[in-house]
Amino acid sequence: MRRGLSFPSWTTALLSLLPLSAGAVNIVIDYTYDTASLFDSTAKATLAQAASDLSTALGNTPLAALSTNSYTGTTPGASATAIWNLTFTNPSTGTTISLPAPQTSPGFPVSEIRIYAGWQNLTGSVLGTGSPGGASASLGVSYTNEAALPVAVNNLENISNTAMGRGDGPVIGAISGAFNGNTQPDVPFTLEYGAFVGSLWFDSDTNNDNVTDMPATLETAWNLGMNQPSAGQSDLYSTALHEIMHAVGFGTSDTWSTLSDPRIAGSHLASGTTGARLSDGVMQEAVMTSSVTVGTRKELTTVDLDFLGKLGYNVVPEPAAAGLLAMVGSLLLMRRRRR
């Protein structure tokens, strides 16, 4: 998470051939809850680069805007309503923040995913954490003809899932249950939501003494910029890529839980899973294995994009065109783990 260099990223080169379209994903890093104020301009530029590189890789994935948080399914004689509440984890305290009117606070334009960034004192060798937002809903039904309730609930599911699912990308989570009738059987429902908001935070206690590091200590332990990290430094760019991918559903979404692939190890890819680096085609361990070697940088690889494609993102380049996927042995150098 520190200092920078003027080398162009692979994104810069890619954009010269594949300009972003109006429907391209736009990952926005938000520092509203960064109460520690440990992100200097260099670190912010690095997070912006990681978000930009991933946004470009996700390609033309036209995630729908959020225009309302209230949806109603109707049919003659019955109606069913869901009023959604989006939540995310405060990246500095770990508490839950609620957006009771998400269409205006802060609002989600077409294809925007907002990620709140911060620092926390993490234990052991954990570098950072990333997670998507959550959701809850207030539900209600009304009817003059109880037999019509199943149709109203089905209409609610269709309307709400289209809007809250955003049309593309992964299903982050779902709310399931049943509306209770008086004389008719209960009417089950499943209401899904997609990627709107998330959080990521980084370790501010690098020597594990239970005290937040001073900026000078952080700048020694972390490589905050776009220079390659020095020996003994953890790389902010690599960690940010990894955690932002968790925040948009990699390893953390309902869609992820439906995937079956021998390269999957829990919420990560198995150690040693490699792909061709997008910047130069060199084989590299995937960003989304659970660890990174101290003093090295990871960039996006074809195997990372392959799994983003499986989650429903329209990745660039198409995973099918990436023919260099392989498995290799685990790296033997010292690593710090990431969640």
Local confidence pLDDT in tens for the 339 residues of the chain: 222 222 233 333 333 223 334 458 999 999 999 999 999 999 999 999 999 999 999 988 889 998 889 999 999 999 999 999 999 999 999 999 998 677 666 678 999 999 999 999 999 999 999 999 999 999 999 999 999 999 999 999 999 999 999 988 999 999 999 988 788 889 999 999 999 999 999 999 999 999 999 999 999 999 999 999 999 999 999 999 999 999 999 999 999 999 999 999 999 999 999 999 999 999 999 999 999 999 999 999 999 999 999 999 999 864 433 333 332 222 233 344 444
Predicted confidence at residue 169, as pLDDT, reads 94
Residue ranges per structural domain of the chain: 1-263
d(CA 153, CA 159): 10
pLDDT at position 107, please?
74
The residue among 213, 234, 209, 237 whose CA lies nearest residue 222 is 234
| Cα–Cα distance for residue pair 117/35, rounded to 1 Å | 10
Distance between CA 304 and CA 300 in Å, rounded?
6
- Angle, CA 20 vertex, CA 19 and CA 26 arms, to 5°: 155
**pLDDT reported for residue 184:** 84
pLDDT at 193: 97
Angle formed at CA 328 by CA 322 and CA 58, multiple of 5 degrees: 35
In this predicted structure, what is the pLDDT of residue 242?
Answer: 98
Q: What is the DSSP pairing of strand 234-235 with strand 222-225? A: parallel
- Rounded to two decimals, the pTM is 0.86
Closest CA to 241 of 307, 196, 286: 286
- Asked if residues 285 and 274 have their Cβ atoms less than 8 Å apart, the reply is yes
